[in-house]
Structure 1
Amino acid sequence: MNTQSFALRHIGIREKDIEKMLSVIGADSIEELIEQTIPADIRLNEGLTLPEALTEQEFLNLSQNLAEKNRMFKSYIGMGYHESITPSVIKRNILENPGWYTAYTPYQAEIAQGRLEALLNFQTVVCDLTKMEIANASLLDESTAAAEAMTMLFDVRSRNQKKENVVKFFVSEEVLPQTLSLLQTRAIPLGIELVIGDHENFEFSTDFYGALLQYPGKHGQVNDYAEFVSKAQESNIKVAVAADILSLVLLTPPGEWGVDVVVGTTQRFGIPLGYGGPHAAFFATKEAYKRNIPGRIIGLTKDTDGNDALRMALQTREQHIKRDKATSNICTAQVLLAVMAGMYAVYHGPEGLKDIATRVHNYTKTVAETIKAYGFEQLNTVYFDTIKFKVNNVQGIRTVSESKGINLNYIDDETVSISINEAFTKKDIRPLVNCFVESQALNEKGSITEYEGQTIPDALVRKSSFLEHETFNSYHSETDMMRYIKKLERKDLSLNHSMISLGSCTMKLNAASEMLPLSWARWGNIHPFVPVEQAEGYHLVLRELEEQLNVITGFAATSLQPNSGAQGEYAGLMVIRAYHESRGESHRNICIIPASAHGTNPASAVMAGMKVVVTKTDEQGNIDVVDLEEKVNEHSENLAALMVTYPSTHGVFESSIRYITKLIHDNGGQVYMDGANMNAQVGLTNPATIGADVCHLNLHKTFAIPHGGGGPGVGPICVAEQLKPFLPSNPLIETGGEKAITAISAAPWGSSLVCLISYGYIKMLGAEGLTDATKMAILNANYIKARLNGAFEVLYLGEQGRVGHEMIIDCRPFKENGIEVTDIAKRLMDYGYHSPTVSFPVGGTMMIEPTESESLVELDRFCDALLSIRAEITEASVEDANNVLKNAPHTLAMVTSDNWGFPYSRQKAAFPLTYVAENKFWPTVRRTDEAFGDRNLMCTCPAVEEYAEV
């Protein structure tokens, strides 16, 4: 045993276990199993050309050395990003706590009540501060949220507007440049015409369906948009506002003007800058749009006993249902960051937020008045935290500022802006002011007068209350806050309790050594728009990570910008679109997608301006090659792309894959490979070898970024040589190819901070460890298949009877006993397990993926639980629904009640197998009533009397 080997700690299977597992599977060796699983013509002949694996200590030392290369300037750049202070109680108990960061999206509400409550808090904060009626549980970044507002309003145009000429969308010139770039990306494929200009001179016209305003503007000006909104309403123009959430503590909230959507980021609510992310964006709108709002909404409902319960409402897996009819491809949110931002508001409460916002504003006024006193012209008439100056020596100011370790926003040759943040203190005033003073060789004047009292006109001063709910007025001591966080944590089942075997989701170990650097200031406090030489450590990591991913995929180049898997899909298709246009083939707009594909695939294709053609899958779960040939021949002149998941969504390595990709290429198309199942490829095959041209990778799956309860995610795209020139750009920091498409996300390198995790995962595993991880993932899946043989039918198998890294078990036959797949999912909670993926990609089934991180003991426990449930199914009948499965899950309140009206014992209900008693996890509520919650949608923290009236 090499105790310094990271692979030894990451991979759960011990050497002594392999022979036993192979015996159960019926294979003589790991190599034989792999040969029976992966087609020979796509196997790699050589190993990955990566450096030798580092030990955990070596990686931590390397991370420290790289962090030292990041220069810690005071950044007053603003532009949507501000240094904030993460309360230590939140940092220690949420950001650094696997009980929070290893949880999955709360599809199983009964074992996710803590996270759901934290997200309900987040929605309440957003609704209260914006004064809108409904908010979702976070989006990816402010620019993405603004783009989602633009497309949602486009989709909800009134009947008499749905004409070809009503496609114009007004964008204020005050909007952040990164947002404008992303709006351009989204608008072109959908045929939306952007009109950029001054809102004061806008000529309201029925040609426009919507408008986007920035509040405050990108350089700090606070405008009163009430009249604009009123005129827009008269012209049937919907209005969205991108708002700074901290400013809404002091400024009139946009909801009070009657706007339709308010978006923004909650980054300055205690979230590190992280060189651009991850940060939780918000999206708030009117109740009328509740079925159009993108992303996830947390709602209040009741459980079987009539008790309050939370669950995901309305939008649950929208893309899986609507597919190419979906109005958004958003799948991943930023849950962990939304939880932190919501907790920031809980910890500070309304009075604390007022104190922070007022302090920021007062310091801004102090800086403004002091610099003006030296003769500089301030250009803002109304401001919150950002002030703009006209100067005659921008380069001189920059030289002095950088010598003092200060970054300002240099707008042009004669204009500079300064954004004050929460971390700003009195001692920061003089160095900042002196950047201007010394640039003009002026004499420093005496002491600085600190100004108090806002400069905001009465018409723009917030008068409405916010955060009056008890939750935001109860936990202001660290002791109380710590206990509140722990109370919620205990309600959630995460990877620190048991295996989460969700198929296609790859819930593997998120190692502590990978996570530790995220808390270090030299990684967390870097603004995304600092000069690149100040972020040298980041660039060394990001460049090497891109190179690592190039090696792993076999491709020529990588963009780390997409900050979710679905964004990666969209980016890949937009790159393909640009490639065809560069060749004079813009007519190529047909995207062929297998019927089994993840729902975001067709949704992404439609967003990229493509028409979806569905190809069949055969009885073995493979692409129906005959049907595909027919579709390709029919559409060969206009064929843009094939989207394929490999191994398939059914968990099988299709042997015809190279023929399929050649067929697409021979007919002028490009092949996009969905990287959701990359955990079965790394080191054994790769997307380039199967014939793909572009793939996205889920760094929050294969490459160990934690799911965080439903986010953060990172979805970079890797591309072949011909697509390299089209990789996405950013308007403020140079990135992408020489023919780059416009931005996919707000920050140049997306969620840079969490890329450290994947970088560490690859560095510590090395070529051999990465390949062994893939082999063990395949071994574990085939072991579970073998153990369940005879009790559950596995739907799809490879040509030699093997599965890849996951499998689908068929639960439909159990309807004969009155048991649905949902009953099995809920019963697994009593055994201490999160359900596998339910009814995807086939209704009435479960998709199981164990990953390489689980031990044989845990695999056996999981199998024992499913086999025990199978025996319980045999005991059930259609005639009698009062059984242990239909009543699952069983809560502590049920089992300890004085009344027990069930025909089975309390022990069978709560402790069905011996191991359960050793580490019992209690579901917090009984089954949630989905229909009740959708009929009575409540998405903010309710007062008790409000809920009683429902």
Structure 2
Amino acid sequence: MSNVNYQEKFENRHIGPNADGTEDMLTYLGLNSLDELIDQTVPEQIRLKKSLRLPKALSETAYLQKIKEVADKNKVYKSFIGQGYNNAILPGVIQRNVFENPGWYTQYTPYQAEIAQGRLQALLNFQTVVSDFTGLEIANASLLDEATAAAEGMFMLYSARKNKDAQVFLVTPNVYPQTLDVLRTRALSFGIEIRVADINEGNLSDDVFAVFIQYPAADGTVSDYKTFADAAHAQGITICVATDLLSLALLTPPGEWGADVVVGNSQRFGVPMGFGGPHAAFFATKDAFKRNIPGRIIGVTVDANGDYALRMALQTREQHIRRDKASSNICTAQALLAIMASFYAVYHGPKGIRKIASRVHDLTVVLDQALQTLGYKQLNKAYFDTLRIEVGAQVGTLKGEALDHDFNFFYENDVVGISVDETTTFEDIQTIAKIFAKVQGVSVTEVDFDELANGQLEVIPSDLQRTSDYLTHPVFNTHHSETEMLRYIKSLESKDLSLCHSMIPLGSCTMKLNATSEMVPVTWANFGSLHPFAPADQTLGYMHLIHELNDWLSEITGFAKMSFQPNSGAQGEYAGLMVIRAYHESRGDSNRNICLIPASAHGTNPASASMAGLKVVVVKCDERGNIDVEDLRAKATEHAENLNSLMVTYPSTHGVFEEPIIEICQIVHEHGGQVYMDGANMNAQVGLTSPGFIGADVCHLNLHKTFCIPHGGGGPGMGPIGVAEHLVPFLPNHEVVEISGEQGISAVSAAPFGSASILVISHAYIAMMGADGLTNATKLAILNANYIKARLEQHYPVLYAGANGHCAHEMILDCRSFKNFGIEVSDIAKRLMDYGFHAPTVSFPVAGTLMVEPTESESKPELDRFCDALVAIRQEIAAVENGEADAKDNVLKHAPHTAEVVTSDDWNRPYSRQTAAYPIAYLKANKFWPSVGRVNDSQGDRQLICSCPPIEEYAEA
């Protein structure tokens, strides 16, 4: 009976090292206990004095039962609300093999292209879809959401404007309110005037630099803007258009009538609404802007063997290189959702998508005619999928009748909006007609639905009907049976290394377990099918989850309240700084515009500060990588009158718990500033210390790092911010759903709660780990890092350590001396692929180094396997160093080695095939083959190709 109360602990599944492995690592470090390591590593003055106050940990089974009850509180009505969000059908072959597949959702951003060719191809497909549908030459690999994409378009056109005196962004009144909200937020820092006015030539004044148009408009109308666009261009004014991708199967693409930038949301291509996200936004523009386009671009190049290969192009635009000069602070994209949308296009092909779009449009026309037959006035003359019906004083009655049928419409005064989507059935149209007939007091039998269904009514003007082809590439015209689609998805998946294969030891990226039990609820309809603007009494389950997660994260961070609106870490940085700005302005301190940032900071920090309209002043770091406190004090004193904030990462980006962090916060406060803590390294704090306890005022959390939302090959992410009590009134509000007070800043993202559907993952993690489990995870993350440090420091210099010689949760291996005999840090990164590993973070935060973070999820055998690989590579470097191997013709310089190269008849290299492919014994049983050789980065930038090229033509070129 001794096991009667036994319950399997999720903590034991999440944390990699078992008791024996933990003891062995502590023995190797010369320590008696885990607590001894923590006492020597984490400064005593910042240690929490009591345990986290969190509910008792649940088992996986108990949690899934509990969250099912929470999900059941959500009422999933049929949504006809529209406003940028529509139900879609996710094909089962994509749901099972991509959305629910850790081979796709546990990949990292494809910086190491040779082991990421599958998702690079899927993202190139996405870019091709966007480029083809919008009629523009170039597209990126996704942005966060439609509203932030529109804001990126505004800023790109503002930066590229010829008339530098022009400060007005002219916006049509007929745009989505959430988009206008975000535009206003982003315009604030740059003195851009958002002028809402009708789109006509009379409003094209000299102070306008660009125009923003919704097409189809927010109310569903479709208009011809070609003449207007010509007039704008004649005055040097550019055009940014937000559009619906599915509608462009039938409508003339904006690129064909004059748009310079086209943005939107690809959610209709098979991605659940998820109460607002995550969804992949798109951004397309003209070739002339290719060096200015924000976000990531996938480009075509060749590998070392001259074969077709893909890579992320133009990476020098990224934040870690350009810092406060970066054109955007975008870090996380929405890769997984873009991949799903691209597979949707591959599966359906051009004919299938046109049929879906035509069916949506035809059902809308049938409904239009039915309602007019019943005596209603429908206001949209030309439309794709949305009707506006005048109902007058009957709007309340009609709303009640619709709710009785579990239908949600969009209500604006006495007009009802109805948006038809892919999931709408002919029976739904009949039901809607019955609802309207009952309110009108007439019989629906007056409507001959069979005649309407077979009738013809042209509501899209001929000038706006699409005539150009799209999706002509073979990839979109081949894989239309499920067998073909399954094999195509698997063929791409097999080219990518993910957490399914081995640890991904990226410093600052925290690639930990994304447990199945955390992921399962994301696919449930009660979380996936809710519209973000659904009535409040239908979203009680989400509100329960969000309030509970707010309480837990507030406890973990030591803050008063969280905002879940920011849908990436960098977006959280920006939101936090805008909250600080609003706080200063409320006190009459609008002059405070100086942001102190340590030289070691992640590149998104200065980029975010610049976006928030702040002037960056860099604080020196000492030779141990710590903030130079005296330099901080001097600069805080110098800029006291205008000091806005300090952005600090803790533990530092160098992987060290800096002893004087409390003093650092006090110095900033004494000089009138606020402390913004970057939460990228929160995995070393949870349960041991907290931003609030240390003295920070605001902190963002990378839920896709510390709290287990998967990276998805480069997104989705979530970056909620926690704030101290005095900043709570300034947390982001939303134009449609009120979530903050009157002093709240305007929205930073399109949906009220960001990518709400993936919050359940972090909720599950905290609920199943409990206070002790979370604290133990932090301790084991620190142990794993210090074990790797101890094993490797006799082979590689470790750059920084704390007062007792320990690192925090990550460490930096110094590879700079190898350059003296021709070996670059990139050679080590590529050679690691031959050993079956993704490289650690390369050349950040120090050029020529590797930053390693193992996380708590990796077991001791996996840590040893990784260390064995790096030790073996160090021996290969030594062979070059002592002249046994040629400096230019060696196994590192030729890495990675593909199966094709190793098995070719022609082998003339000065090392054996076995050395190339199986340099260490474990590989013979478990080999991951890179699918291409080392890619040619420079050629890809010189000859930028960012949509699917006919391979024969590219080879000839």
Partner of 2:315: helix, strand, or coil? coil
How far off its partner does 1:686 sit?
0.2
1:779 aligns with 2:780: no
AA at the equivalent of 1:300: V
- Choose the corresponding residue for 2:738, options 730, 734, 739: 734
Q: Which residue of 2 aligns with 1:464?
A: 468
Q: Which residue of 2 aligns with 1:16?
A: 20
**2: distance between equivalents of 1:691 and 1:940?**
48
Larger mean CA deviation between 204-213 and 692-701 belongs to: 204-213
Larger mean CA deviation between 813-822 and 337-346 belongs to: 813-822
1:407 aligns with 2:414: no
How far off its partner does 1:737 sit?
3.3
- Choose the corresponding residue for 1:582, options 583, 586, 605: 586
Q: How does 1:726-765 map to 2 (within 5 A)?
A: 726-765=730-769
**2: distance between equivalents of 1:570 and 1:703?**
20
Q: Which residue of 2 aligns with 1:476?
A: 480
Q: How does 1:674-713 map to 2 (within 5 A)?
A: 674-713=678-717
1:162 aligns with 2:175: no
Q: Which residue of 1 aligns with 2:181?
A: 181
Q: Which residue of 2 aligns with 1:941?
A: 948
Q: How does 1:83-122 map to 2 (within 5 A)?
A: 83-122=87-126
- The answer to whether the 8 A contact 2:201-2:231 is kept is no
Q: Which residue of 2 aligns with 1:302?
A: 302
- The answer to whether the 8 A contact 2:433-2:444 is kept is no
**1: distance between equivalents of 2:824 and 2:721?**
38
Q: Which residue of 1 aligns with 2:565?
A: 561
- Choose the corresponding residue for 2:73, options 40, 60, 69: 69
AA at the equivalent of 1:269: F
Provide Cα deviations, 1:321-362, integer angstroms capped at 9, x if missing partner: 111111110010000000000000000000000000000000
- The answer to whether the 8 A contact 2:374-2:437 is kept is yes
**2: distance between equivalents of 1:202 and 1:703?**
52
The aligned length equals 945
How far off its partner does 1:433 sit?
1.5
- The answer to whether the 8 A contact 2:821-2:887 is kept is no
1:893 aligns with 2:900: yes
- The answer to whether the 8 A contact 2:576-2:699 is kept is yes
Q: Which residue of 1 aligns with 2:911?
A: 904
- The answer to whether the 8 A contact 1:206-1:236 is kept is no
How far off its partner does 1:443 sit?
2.2
AA at the equivalent of 1:597: A
Partner of 2:36: helix, strand, or coil? helix
Q: Which residue of 2 aligns with 1:658?
A: 662
- The answer to whether the 8 A contact 1:181-1:730 is kept is yes
Q: Which residue of 2 aligns with 1:349?
A: 349
Q: Which residue of 1 aligns with 2:887?
A: 880
Larger mean CA deviation between 567-576 and 200-209 belongs to: 200-209
Larger mean CA deviation between 681-690 and 1-10 belongs to: 1-10
How far off its partner does 1:949 sit?
4.7
**1: distance between equivalents of 2:462 and 2:616?**
53
AA at the equivalent of 1:776: L
- The answer to whether the 8 A contact 1:90-1:343 is kept is yes
Q: How does 1:218-617 map to 2 (within 5 A)?
A: 218-315=218-315, 318-392=318-392, 393-412=394-413, 414-446=414-446, 447-448=448-449, 449-450=452-453, 451-452=455-456, 454-617=458-621
Q: What is the identity percentage for the equivalent residue pairs of Structure 1 and Structure 2?
A: 60
- Choose the corresponding residue for 2:810, options 806, 810, 819: 806
Q: Which residue of 2 aligns with 1:172?
A: 172
- The answer to whether the 8 A contact 2:823-2:887 is kept is no
How far off its partner does 1:455 sit?
2.1
Partner of 1:190: helix, strand, or coil? coil
**2: distance between equivalents of 1:203 and 1:46?**
62
How far off its partner does 1:815 sit?
1.4
**1: distance between equivalents of 2:879 and 2:77?**
67
Partner of 1:321: helix, strand, or coil? helix
Provide Cα deviations, 1:458-491, integer angstroms capped at 9, x if missing partner: 1000000000000000000000000000000000
Q: Which residue of 2 aligns with 1:647?
A: 651
- The answer to whether the 8 A contact 2:317-2:327 is kept is no
AA at the equivalent of 2:522: L
Q: Return closer, same or farther for 1:453/1:15 CA change in 2, 3 Å cut-off.
A: farther
TM-score norm. by structure 2 comes to: 0.98
**2: distance between equivalents of 1:574 and 1:99?**
37
Larger mean CA deviation between 17-26 and 200-209 belongs to: 200-209
**1: distance between equivalents of 2:887 and 2:641?**
59
- The answer to whether the 8 A contact 1:100-1:708 is kept is yes
AA at the equivalent of 1:946: E
State the superposition RMSD in angstroms: 1.1
**2: distance between equivalents of 1:75 and 1:202?**
38
**2: distance between equivalents of 1:149 and 1:431?**
41
**2: distance between equivalents of 1:119 and 1:201?**
38
- The answer to whether the 8 A contact 2:506-2:851 is kept is yes
How far off its partner does 1:452 sit?
4.8
AA at the equivalent of 1:565: G
Gaps of 5+ in 2: none
How far off its partner does 1:26 sit?
2.1
**1: distance between equivalents of 2:932 and 2:317?**
22
TM-score norm. by structure 1 comes to: 0.99
Q: Which residue of 2 aligns with 1:914?
A: 921
Provide Cα deviations, 1:123-152, integer angstroms capped at 9, x if missing partner: 000000001000000000000000000001
- The answer to whether the 8 A contact 1:296-1:316 is kept is no
- The answer to whether the 8 A contact 1:523-1:753 is kept is yes
**2: distance between equivalents of 1:865 and 1:914?**
10
Partner of 2:639: helix, strand, or coil? helix
**1: distance between equivalents of 2:59 and 2:284?**
46
AA at the equivalent of 1:225: Y
Q: Which residue of 2 aligns with 1:817?
A: 821
**1: distance between equivalents of 2:316 and 2:863?**
29
**1: distance between equivalents of 2:510 and 2:732?**
27
Gaps of 5+ in 1: none
AA at the equivalent of 2:605: N
Q: Which residue of 2 aligns with 1:130?
A: 134
AA at the equivalent of 1:799: A
How far off its partner does 1:439 sit?
1.9
AA at the equivalent of 1:179: T
Partner of 1:558: helix, strand, or coil? strand
How far off its partner does 1:437 sit?
1.6
**2: distance between equivalents of 1:23 and 1:494?**
31
How far off its partner does 1:20 sit?
1.1
**1: distance between equivalents of 2:606 and 2:130?**
31
Q: Which residue of 2 aligns with 1:207?
A: 207
Q: Which residue of 2 aligns with 1:789?
A: 793
- The answer to whether the 8 A contact 1:559-1:736 is kept is no
Provide Cα deviations, 1:666-702, integer angstroms capped at 9, x if missing partner: 0100000000000000000000111100000000000
Larger mean CA deviation between 840-849 and 514-523 belongs to: 514-523
**1: distance between equivalents of 2:685 and 2:742?**
31
AA at the equivalent of 1:735: I
- The answer to whether the 8 A contact 2:798-2:813 is kept is yes
**2: distance between equivalents of 1:930 and 1:9?**
40
- The answer to whether the 8 A contact 2:197-2:203 is kept is no
Q: Return closer, same or farther for 1:352/1:454 CA change in 2, 3 Å cut-off.
A: farther
